[in-house]
Structure 1
Amino acid sequence: MLYFIQQILNGLHSGVLYALLAFGYALTNGILHRTNLAYGALFAFCGQTMILVAVFGYQVLWLTLPATILFGTVVTFIYAALASRLLARSLFEPLANRSPNTIAAATLGVALVLTELSRIAANTHDLWLQPMLAQPVVFAEADGFKATLTVIQLMNCALIVLVLLIGTFALAYSRFGRQWRAVSDDPRAAAMCGTNVRRVFRLSVLGGSLCAALAGVLAALYYGNLGFSAGMIYGLKVLFATAVGGYLSPPRAALGAAAFGLAESLWTGYFPIEWRDAWMFLFLVAVLVLVGAGRDSHRTA
């Protein structure tokens, strides 16, 4: 029983990371209504940037560990904001009314560029941060087995849940949230009612990019390393996991992604890990088919 509890606890941490990524992805996708294959690469790029800048600050600038982490985090968020500005103005806006495959192909190219930039900056080497806040917090114990989470896992979970609650509240009750829903539903009608559609779109892309940056920073701090090749697999996971909750509702997308993270952790604990991604993707495809069939039958009725 304690082993099962441990897998649930592990799933909570991975689940909230997926939830944050799904929230940010849906924030952009709810306006764009196009597949963005660059989002996972942006997450990995931000995590790698955090590590590279932190290593530079620690080894070259001789900063203390807290100072170098702060330095790396600030630089990462600046890069994420610049990337969101470039993507919104130079890619999403010009291609928004083109074929959906156009943006899919363009963002795939962006993903490859971000991956290569990370690889070149790291000189194809994996750099590691030293373990931080790795003290275990015991939730249950019996017969010498302890179900634990580390301090950094608890801090990550608390921070992400707080960000998701603030984001959900803002979308539900703020002026931006009302404008976001209006533009998501019908951008032309929203523009006729006086909504600055371009501003809402750019803020949505910025918000999604900052979510990816925060997830990248937190993942880098916990794992100590986030490889430049991780972007594609994370991008596919977020793409499919977000679809479970729905692309047009960031809170529901976050819940669906959290459930995916929990299921992934349970698979890791009880089944061969080398088959995990294949079976999880198959499970997601089956869920999406069943959900789509249910929606079609409801419309027919």
Structure 2
Amino acid sequence: MGYLLQQLANAVPLAALYAALAFGYSLAFGVTKRADITYGAMFAFAGQILLLFTDFAYNKLWLVLPAALAIGIGLSFVYSLLTGFWIGRSIMRPLVRRSANTVIVAALGVTILLMETARLASQTRELWLPPLLNTTVVLWSDASFKVTLTLMQLVNTGLMIALIAAGALILRYTRLGRIWRAVTDDPLAAELCGTSSGRVFLIAYVAAIFFATCCGILTTFYYGTMDFGAGLLFGLKVLMISAAGGYSDPLKSAGGAAGVGFAETLWTAYGSFLWRDFAVFSLLVFLLVMSRRERAIP
């Protein structure tokens, strides 16, 4: 019983991460209607920029660690959001009305560009942060077993849930949310009603990059590093996990992705680790195929 509770506890931070990533991806997908692996690349890019500037501030400017981390966080947001704005305005918005293959090829090129930029900037060095908030918190215990998480896991989970809740409230109760839903339903009709679908596209795309940046920073804090190849890996993974709850509703997409996080953790605990990714991705492909809707052409 204790082992099962520990695995469920371990699944919560991963589920929160997947949910936050899926929520942000759904915001961008609502206006692009195209598969875009750039989102996962921006997740990794944010973590790599955090490491790069934290290392520079700590080892070159001789700042204390909190100040170095603050500089890394600030510049990670600046670089990531400006890069996301550039990608959305100069690459994705001009291509969304063209074929889906054009967007996929462009997204792959941007992903490679981001990964190589981060690698060259850090001179192919793998940078690491010191352990942060690694104090163990006991959630449940009996005479022989304790269910624990670290303080960093609890903080990350709380922040990601708060991020999803804030995004859901904005979409549901604000004018911006209503306009986003209108543009995702029918961009031309929204234009005829006086809404600039191009402006809404950029706002939604940058909002999605904001989610990816927050998740990238928090994940780097937890693991201590961000691999150069993580951009392509997470680009494909986020694309798949977001499909579990459907792309049409960010909150449903987040819920489905959270379920994938629990399934992945439980498979690791009770199944073969070597077959975990195969089993999870097979399930996601099955769900994606079964939920696909073809539109009849008269």
TM class, shorter-chain normalised? over 0.9
Corresponding residue of 2:207? 207
Contact 2:19/2:253 (8 A) holds in 1: yes
Measure the CA separation in 2 of the matches of 1:290 and 1:179. 30
Is 2:137–2:148's contact at 8 Å kept on the other side of the alignment?
A: yes
Partner residue, 2:165: 165
**Who is 2:124 aligned against?**
124
Distance 2:55 2:219 in 1: 16
In structure 2, the residue corresponding to 1:149 is in which secondary structure? strand
Mapped partners of 2:9, 2:231: distance in 1: 25
Correspondence for 2:285:
285
Q: Return the letter of the residue paired with 2:125.
A: H
Letter of the 2:172 counterpart: A
| Cα deviation, residue 143, structure 1 | 4.3
Which residue in 2 is equivalent to 1:15? 15
Q: TM-score, length-normalised on structure 2?
A: 0.95
> What is the CA–CA distance in structure 2 between the aligned matches of 1:222 and 1:20, rounded to whole Å?
16
Residue equivalent to 2:31 = 31
* Structure 2: distance between partners of 1:74 and 1:195: 32
Comparing 181-190 with 261-270, greater Cα deviation is found at 261-270
Report the Cα offset of residue 140 of structure 1.
1.4
Supply the distance in 2 between the matched residues of 1:144 and 1:67 (Cα, whole angstroms). 42
**Which residue does 2:110 correspond to in 1?**
110
1:256 is matched with: 256
3-state SS of paired residue (1:138)? strand
Structure 2 contact 243–287 (Cα < 8 Å) conserved: no
Deviates more, 1:273-282 or 1:93-102: 273-282
- Between the aligned partners of 1:277 and 1:124, the Cα distance in structure 2 is 27
User: Distance in 1 between the 2:277 and 2:53 partners?
Assistant: 31
Q: Sort the Cα spacing of 1:248 and 1:291 in 2 relative to 1 into closer, same or farther, 3 A.
A: closer
**1:36-74, Cα deviation, whole Å (9 max, x unpaired):** 111111111111111111111111112222211111111
TM-score (norm 1): 0.94
1:268 alignment partner in structure 2? 268
**Ranges in structure 1 where 5+ consecutive residues have no aligned partner:** none
Name the counterpart of 2:134.
134
Gaps of 5+ in 2: none
Match status 1:231 vs 2:231 = yes
Cα RMSD, aligned residues only: 1.4
Q: Distance in 2 between matches of 1:71 and 1:168?
A: 29
Look up the SS of the partner of 1:140 in the other structure: strand
SS at match of 1:139: strand
Give the Cα separation in 2 of the matches to 1:271 and 1:89. 44
Post-superposition offset of 1:89:
1.3
- Cα separation, 2, equivalents of 1:274 and 1:120: 32
The answer as to 2:148 corresponding to 1:155 is no
SS state of the match for residue 211, structure 2? helix
Quote the Cα distance in structure 2 between the aligned partners of 1:45 and 1:169. 28
Instruction: Say yes or no: does 1:94 pair with 2:78.
Output: no
Deviation at 1:94, TM superposition (A): 1.1
Structure 2 SS opposite 1:134: coil
1:28-107 matched pairs, under 5 angstroms: 28-107=28-107
Residue identity opposite 1:279 in structure 2: A
